[in-house]
Amino acid sequence: MASQSWTHATLALQLLRLDPGLGGICIRARVGPVRDRLTRLIEPTARRLHPAISDEALFGGLDLSATLASGHLVQEKGLLATPGPLVLAMAERTTTGLAARLAVALDKGDQHYLIALDEGVEPDECLNPKLAERLAFHVDLSDCSLADTEVPTQTFKSTVHLREIEVRPKIIVQITRISEELGIDSMRAPLFAIRTARALAALHGHDRVTLDDVEIACALTLAHRATRIPEPQTQEDPPAPPPDQSDDSNSDETLDLPDELLLDAVRALLPDNLLDQLAAQKARAGRGNGTGAARKGNRRGRPLPSRAGRISDGARIDIIGTLRAAAPWQTIRRDATGREGLQIRPADIRIKRFEEKSDRLLIFTVDASGSSALTRLAEAKGAVELLLAQAYARRDHVALVAFRGTEAELLLPPTRSLVQTKRRLAALPGGGGTPLAAGMLTAFEQATKATRRGLTPTIAILTDGRANIALDGRADRKQAATDAQQIARVLRAHKTDAIVIDTGNRPEPALRNLAQTLDAAYLPLPRADAERLSKSVATALGD
Amino acid sequence: MHPFPFSAIVGQDEMKQAMILTAIDASIGGVLVFGDRGTGKSTAVRALAALLPPIKAIKGCPINSAKAKDVPEWANVSAKRAQDMPTPVVDLPLGATEDRVTGALDIEKALTKGEKAFQPGLLARANRGYLYIDEVNLLEDHIVDLLLDVAQSGENVVEREGLSIRHPARFVLVGSGNPEEGELRPQLLDRFGLSVEVASPKEVETRVEVIKRRDAFENDNAAFMLRWQAEDAAIRDRVLKARKALAKLKTPEKTLTDVAELCLALGSDGLRGELTLLKAARAYAAWRDDTALTRAHVREVAPMALRHRLRRDPLDEAGSGTRVARTVEEVLG
């Protein structure tokens, strides 16, 4: 007996073959016999992609070897040039850039459809949402064993043309309403549901979409997009209005399908841990995806000596270098080939190279309030100096933000000068309230600026945590704490790395909370010696 | 396949209005559409092409020159005859290389004939037209830098591989993207005249209408296009009429003060905001077929002209559109 997810997967593959406009399917399963059995059902003409595929392979480009050999321009065809199924392996590692390129290809409606093989393990490791949005189907085969699978023996033959299949307006209304009830915002979902219903009818050789078609279509296309579990409706609903007699009277079968039945079909497929998954997606929005952050160089551009290589994505040919490499061989090649003119072989190609580097920026956000000054400002300064020494060794940039009284101040904009930092730090006076939120906000502004310049910022907050000045400058302890938490959430949403160093005499629970919101390392100074401090900073910096 | 007809787009009035304004007065400087997945951003931008009246250009000219004397020498156009052509709307794909954008040495000619010739890029083709970037916030940094420079100067300068070529590249930037996937640099944001934010419609009736039209578009394309052809043409005629009316439109001193006060109160950087707001308001008045610019016109277009020019406040969760609306309320009453 085949399991439901397996049946859905095989059915979806058949539907896609019939109507490529459905976009594709995302199959979530680890490598194994179950997946192998399913992939064997994919059309043999399917071409394979991988997440690191180059633009040249996708869209085509200059075929250099052929061009040079033949003496006239030969264009290489890209994978997207011929319509047909595309199989994307390791789909969970697709970068946003590739997802956008594939999305454009799917949007064009050139008869491409995508079969994404998602091998993600963790709930937040999944296909890029931009791409998932454009695929009608999603099946999860992780709980499917080989015994549950069954190669479908029944091959459908569609005799009806897709366009000729009638979809009653009532069904369109109903599908739209249901997707709304499931909390699906995108308009693509109901469109896919209708298209699937139409393809199903064609598969069965009907000329009209039936009750069963709609039910299966909703289950196939809507369940995985649901963001809300609809309440089962109570039976006290007002009786349905009498069927409209003026409507086509011989098609009342489709009129009688209550929303509730359709919703049940979808509800049965909703994963038990829907809420957990949604939470994971939210967290993912804050922490990036499985592809790893691209390191952006802020010092790109200084040309390096060109190097032998082949033309690939974005590479630029160093024409002078190429000619220089080819020059000594000209006489020999002319004799060998008997051909006149310049003769360049692929081995002569020289590629321009550029230096790429990304520097780190440590933003020290130091509490210089009265409460801190009384207790351990000196020690905090010591800790900063220790970190500075490390930053110097790593050739990191440093910035210094201090907050006291009612506002925060940028004492030192990002710099590499250690001497300046030390001098400003030593001269830092203490006193006044603790406007923690203002300090974090200033640090955040610096971090955003730095990111734009290609630096990788890390914020180190040194405070005793007793925030008592709100963002607007009022002395309001409660508001101050709320403000700090809010900025912490913003920082996290922007994926800014941080460490929180508690300089108080006793560890402050509020500060531990703040560190949690920031998803940052929390380090109480009373028990921290130099070695632990340096280790934790190293961890935070990802060394 | 034809793009989805502009007039058949349900709702999304602000986005449609912004597109129309930029079609009336190209010097407003393009539209940026930001929104969630599945809200019809790309659909609307692609539909824009149908709204644009044809332009006169020299046949075969790579930069769509209007006059014979503007055709560049390197293009080797022999017969210089003018002809009508649709306003160019050029797609800038994400994977485009620098060579393809700016133009580069024509490799075919270099290899086969040993000639040093220039092969024009996308910027040349977009001259006097529109450059459309889908997923503009995912564009590679070096391409953004290049665009910023050309969009500002209106001239594309190619100095590489022994070539030294400059040609006019005056185009209107149109972009769309999903803000969740990455932010736009303020410098690039500023190059867009208008910006709109779109969301899925919330009422079931509207949603049903969207689905019905899209379904008809996909299944009965010919009939659907025929049905909306006339309405698209009506909008295009109105755009042409508004273009003419624009010249005669009066701008009272009082409205200028309104515009200046509004921008001052919002603290938008630079004068570009004021200029764009004024131009957009004038285009809007011309579209409405009014004879003089009034405060009501300014109020209507202020959010789309200024929303993206404010300094970003990381704690403002409501979005800058609300901030603009609030200030408009305070200043213009």
B313 versus B244: which is more confidently predicted? B244
Residue B165 has pLDDT above 80, yes or no: yes
**Mean pLDDT throughout A266-291?**
55
Of A62, A187, A341, the CB nearest to B114: A341
CA B143 – CA B223 distance, rounded (Å) = 41
Of B94, B105, B181, the CB nearest to A101: B94
Size of interface A-B (CB pairs under 8 A): 116
pLDDT confidence tier of residue A74, bands split at 50, 70 and 90: confident
CA B34 – CA B160 distance, rounded (Å) = 35
Strands A75-77 and A60-62: antiparallel
Is the Cβ pair B182, A62 closer than 8 Å? no
The whole-angstrom distance between A530's CA and the closest CA on chain B is 35
**Which range is least confidently modeled, A116-130, A437-451, A521-535, B29-43?**
A521-535
**Mean pLDDT throughout A85-90?**
89
CA B135 – CA A117 distance, rounded (Å) = 24
Question: In sequence order, which ranges of A223-273 are alpha helices (DSSP H)?
Answer: 259-267
- Predicted local distance difference test score (pLDDT) of residue B283: 92
**Which range is least confidently modeled, A65-79, A332-346, A366-380, B206-220?**
A366-380
- Predicted local distance difference test score (pLDDT) of residue B111: 67
Is the Cβ pair B42, A62 closer than 8 Å? no
Helices vs. strands in chain B: H and E counts, helices first:
13, 11
Contacts of A101 in chain B (CB under 8 A): 93-95
Residue A461 has pLDDT above 70, yes or no: yes
Residue A66 has pLDDT above 90, yes or no: no
CATH number of A360-540: 3.40.50.410
- Predicted local distance difference test score (pLDDT) of residue B285: 92
**Mean pLDDT throughout A66-85?**
77
- Predicted local distance difference test score (pLDDT) of residue A185: 82
- Which amino acid does the sequence have at A488? A
- Predicted local distance difference test score (pLDDT) of residue B282: 92
CA B126 – CA B202 distance, rounded (Å) = 37
Contacts of B185 in chain A (CB under 8 A): 452
Percent of chain A with pLDDT strictly greater than 70: 75
The whole-angstrom distance between B202's CA and the closest CA on chain A is 8
Is the Cβ pair B111, A72 closer than 8 Å? yes
Which of A112, A185, A351, A494 is best to mutate for the B interface (most B CBs within 10 A)? Answer: A185
Report pLDDT digits (tens) over B219-231. 888 888 888 888 8
Domain coordinates in residue numbering, chain B: 6-198, 253-332
Residue B256 has pLDDT above 50, yes or no: yes
Asked if B109 is an interface residue toward chain A (Cβ–Cβ < 8 A), one would say no
Domain coordinates in residue numbering, chain A: 1-155, 160-228+254-289, 306-354, 360-540
- The pTM score is 0.71
CA A297 – CA A292 distance, rounded (Å) = 15
Helices vs. strands in chain A: H and E counts, helices first:
20, 15
Of B94, B162, B212, the CB nearest to A172: B212
CA B54 – CA A488 distance, rounded (Å) = 53
pLDDT confidence tier of residue A365, bands split at 50, 70 and 90: confident
Residue A237 has pLDDT above 50, yes or no: no
Q: Which residues contact A354 (CB under 8 A, 6 or more apart)?
A: A300, A301, A302, A303, A304
**Domains A160-228+254-289 and A360-540 are alike in CATH topology:** no
**Mean pLDDT throughout A218-241?**
66
Is the Cβ pair A180, B97 closer than 8 Å? no
The whole-angstrom distance between A320's CA and the closest CA on chain B is 8
Is the Cβ pair A490, B315 closer than 8 Å? yes
Contacts of B42 in chain A (CB under 8 A): 107
**Which range is least confidently modeled, A121-130, A209-218, A257-266, B92-101?**
A257-266
Q: How far apart are the first and last CA of chain A?
A: 52
B131 versus A432: which is more confidently predicted? B131
A400 versus B186: which is more confidently predicted? A400
- Predicted local distance difference test score (pLDDT) of residue B286: 92
The whole-angstrom distance between B289's CA and the closest CA on chain A is 35
Using DSSP's 3-state secondary structure scheme, residue B56 falls into: strand
Question: In sequence order, which ranges of A376-431 are alpha helices (DSSP H)?
Answer: 377-394, 418-426
Q: What is the DSSP string of A440-451?
A: HHHHHHHHHHHH
Which of B36, B211, B313 is best to mutate for the A interface (most A CBs within 10 A)? Answer: B211
- Predicted local distance difference test score (pLDDT) of residue A253: 42
- Predicted local distance difference test score (pLDDT) of residue B280: 93
Is the Cβ pair A187, B114 closer than 8 Å? no
Residue A420 has pLDDT above 90, yes or no: no
Asked if B111 is an interface residue toward chain A (Cβ–Cβ < 8 A), one would say yes
**Mean pLDDT throughout A439-447?**
89
Is the Cβ pair B94, A67 closer than 8 Å? no
Is the Cβ pair B141, A296 closer than 8 Å? yes
pLDDT confidence tier of residue B303, bands split at 50, 70 and 90: confident
Is the Cβ pair A176, B208 closer than 8 Å? yes
Q: For all residues of chain A together, what is the average pLDDT?
A: 76
- Predicted local distance difference test score (pLDDT) of residue A257: 58
Evaluate whether the domain defined by A1-155 bears CATH number 3.40.50.300: yes
Contact status, residue B210 vs residue A187, Cβ threshold 8 Å: yes
Report pLDDT digits (tens) over B65-114. 888 777 887 777 777 788 888 888 888 887 777 778 888 877 767 766 77
In terms of average pLDDT, the best of A19-23, A150-154, A269-273, B94-98 is A19-23
The whole-angstrom distance between B207's CA and the closest CA on chain A is 7
Window 148-167 of B: residues touching A by CB (8 A cutoff) are 161-162
**Mean pLDDT throughout A297-316?**
60
Residue B293 has pLDDT above 60, yes or no: yes
Percent of chain A with pLDDT strictly greater than 90: 1
Q: What six digits make up the tokens of A130?
A: 């931009």
The whole-angstrom distance between A54's CA and the closest CA on chain B is 9
Of A187, A285, A296, the CB nearest to B40: A187
**Mean pLDDT throughout A223-229?**
80
Which of B139, B187, B218, B317 is best to mutate for the A interface (most A CBs within 10 A)? Answer: B218
- Predicted local distance difference test score (pLDDT) of residue A463: 83
Contacts of B37 in chain A (CB under 8 A): 129-130, 133, 186, 188
Tokens 């630096």 locate to: A455
**Mean pLDDT throughout A344-371?**
77
Is the Cβ pair B111, A129 closer than 8 Å? no
- Predicted local distance difference test score (pLDDT) of residue B284: 93
CA-nearest of A261, A255, A263 to A169 is A255
Contacts of B223 in chain A (CB under 8 A): none
Is the Cβ pair A186, B141 closer than 8 Å? no
Percent of chain B with pLDDT strictly greater than 90: 5
Evaluate whether the domain defined by A160-228+254-289 bears CATH number 1.10.8.80: yes
- Predicted local distance difference test score (pLDDT) of residue B36: 78
What's the DSSP call for residue A183?
T
Residue A313 has pLDDT above 60, yes or no: no
- Predicted local distance difference test score (pLDDT) of residue A275: 60
- From 3.40.50.280, 3.40.50.300, 1.10.8.80, 1.10.357.10, which CATH number describes the B253-332 domain? 1.10.8.80
Of A21, A58, A130, the CB nearest to B37: A130
- Predicted local distance difference test score (pLDDT) of residue A254: 43
Q: What is the DSSP string of A478-533?
A: HHHHHHHHHHHHHHHHTT-EEEEEE-SSS--HHHHHHHHHHT-EEEEGGG--HHHH
Is the Cβ pair B215, A167 closer than 8 Å? yes
Residue A95 has pLDDT above 60, yes or no: yes
Q: What is the DSSP string of B281-310?
A: HHHHHHHTT-SB--HHHHHHHHHHHHGGGS
pLDDT confidence tier of residue A235, bands split at 50, 70 and 90: very low
Fold assignment, B6-198: Rossmann fold (3.40.50)
Window 85-104 of B: residues touching A by CB (8 A cutoff) are 93-95, 97-99
Catalytic-role residue among B207, B227, B272, B323: B272
Phi, psi of A387 (to 5 degrees): -65, -35
Is the Cβ pair B200, A187 closer than 8 Å? yes
Contacts of B181 in chain A (CB under 8 A): 96, 130
Asked if B317 is an interface residue toward chain A (Cβ–Cβ < 8 A), one would say no
CA A222 – CA A126 distance, rounded (Å) = 18
Question: Is B160 labeled as catalytic in the residue annotation?
Answer: no
Is the Cβ pair B39, A187 closer than 8 Å? yes
Find, in chain B, the residue whose alpha carbon is nearest to that of A60.
Answer: B95
In terms of average pLDDT, the best of A284-298, A303-317, B152-166 is B152-166
Q: For all residues of chain B together, what is the average pLDDT?
A: 83
